[in-house]
Amino acid sequence: MGPLDRFLASCREVPFVVTLHDVVQAGEIGRSAAVRTRPVEALRASPPPSLTALVSRVPPPASFRRESEAAADHAPDVTILRDITGRSTCEGTIEDFTRYFRNRFETLTRMLRGRRELGGAQDISRARRSTREVRFLGMISDIRPTKSGHRILELEDATDRISVLVLSNSPPAAETFVMDEVVGVVGKVNDRGLVIAESIVRPDVPVAKTFPGIGEHLRAAFVSDIHVGSTTFLDEKWSKLAAWLSSDDEIARSLRYLVVSGDVVDGIGVYPRQDEELSIDDIYGQYEALARMMAALPDHLTAVMIPGNHDAVRPAEPQPALPAPIQKLFDSNLIFAGNPSVVSLHGIKVLAYHGRSMDDFVSTIPGMNYHRPLDMMKDMLKMRHLAPIYGGKTPIAPEAEDHLIIDPVPDIFATGHVHSVGVDTYRGVVLVNSSTWQAQTPYQKMRNIEPLPARLPIVDLATGQAVIKEF
Ligand SMILES: [Fe+2]
């Protein structure tokens, strides 16, 4: 019995969200997903990281500085609201993948059904037979251009599939769609059974959301992609950062939290001939060096650290927190969480995600590039999914519940990975992409990629106002 037969045999009804491509991939991805802690040698290569910042909202430092609280006067208030650590149940079987995609589809369609525009949405099998205006929900299983410059989306649900024509002069033509995202369609069926889309609705975040804010001007700073152990790790820049954090500067003293969004060390064997670019060629040695760096930071700073694709945990997302033998190297001022995680800092909900899926956004969406992490983050919020495109560079572990769905809507959404930097807002959600502490690598040089290292985004937890400080 081949994998497709086994897969079909495992389904109680005709599968609707797992494509043939998924099934073919299931064996390999599933096996890797089942291993909680993979040898570091097996970790996958880094992306071609990024180039120019997109700092679209930097308020003048004077207004940012006006009021500050001393972080040392406030006890930390950290709760991990959502992450996979200790809760992984999947073994990577085909049944796991079926269950995973059902959960993804059901959760996102539940969000869409709450949208006024989609009231009375039908199953696709009923919509197909309709001759009037139709509304339905589905997962995109194919996107193709027509000869006349329009686009056709294939949508699937549990009952059937349907073709949706997006005319190049219609409002939805301005949108970019990706494979496997879940959308709602309002349109009319033509005499050939094709739906002409009038609007395409995404789960999105509420328009009216505002930043909740806390009573005190305490702040959080964001770092990622430190890449300790690499010869291109920026030791001097980090020392400058550490000195500033311990200084009398009122913003430095107001920093209560440090969110560390993955790729904290360079790892071992992450890409071919990496050993030639390592100053520390032992994985524990790399984490020990990082632990010393973190221990040297001031006591009023509580750090929350998640892993990235260079770290020593399974590469399949959601990734659990760094394993206990590594956690033991660090002092108690550091809280370990999975990738992604939703963490409450003084009641402010922070979604921290390393950002591996941006590789798939860049390779899939025409015109997208590593300069534009904030645009990709906005797309993720619109789709309410951190890694909607399945089967690309982002390995996904088929957990019972889809931890890559963005729920709840965060107050701050933080990513790293692309070695760029930027802050912005989208519908009241503060967006932070957190730079790197690694200079241009030979790989980046070869590809003419200019990173933007040693920039520190800082968010005021009272107002949501964000600035970037350069070191
Ligand atoms: Fe990364």
Instruction: Tell me the C-alpha distance between 7 and 15, whole Å.
Output: 9
Compute, in angstroms, the gap from residue 415 CA to the centroid of ligand 1. 10
Q: Helix, strand, coil % (nearest 5) of the chain?
A: 25, 25, 50
- Give residue for tokens 């950002």: 355
* Cβ atoms of 33 and 395 closer than 8 Å: yes
The gap between the terminal CA atoms of the chain, to the nearest Å, is 59
Position 130 scores a pLDDT of 87
* Averaged pLDDT for residues 226-240: 98
Ligand 1 centre to CA of 308 (Å) is: 5
261 CA → ligand 1 middle, Å: 9
Report the distance separating Cα 352 and Cα 354, nearest Å.
7
Amino acid at 290: L
pLDDT for 436: 98
CA of 469 to the centre of ligand 1 (A): 22
Rounded to an integer, what is the distance from CA 433 to the centroid of its chain?
Answer: 11
Q: What is the mean pLDDT of residues 248-252?
A: 95
In this prediction the pTM is 0.87
With a cut of 60, say whether residue 33 has pLDDT above it: no
Nearest Cα to Cα of residue 15 among 7, 26, 24: 7
Q: What is the mean pLDDT of the chain?
A: 88
Cβ contact 408:208 at 8 Å:
no
CB distance 162 to 197 below 8 Å: no
* C-alpha 34 chain-centroid distance: 21
pLDDT at 8 over 70: no
Site of tokens 């969200």: 17
CA distance readout (Å), 312 to 211, 395, 468: 34, 15, 29
- Please answer whether residues 290 and 334 qualify as being in contact, where contact means their C-beta atoms are separated by less than 8 angstroms: no
| CA–centroid distance, residue 414 to ligand 1 (Å) | 13
Which residues pair with residue 63 across a beta bridge? none
Please give the C-alpha separations between residue 288 and each of 131, 195, 329, 339, in angstroms, as whole numbers: 66, 58, 6, 21
Q: What is the pLDDT of residues 43-86, one digit of tens each?
A: 223 333 332 333 434 444 667 877 889 999 999 999 999 999 99
- CA distances in angstroms from 171 to 96, 186, 187, 198, listed in the order given: 38, 12, 12, 7
Q: How far is the CA of 417 from the centre of ligand 1 (A)?
A: 4
pLDDT of residue 42: 27
Residue 132 — very low, low, confident or very high, per pLDDT cuts 50/70/90? confident
pLDDT > 90 in the chain, percent: 76
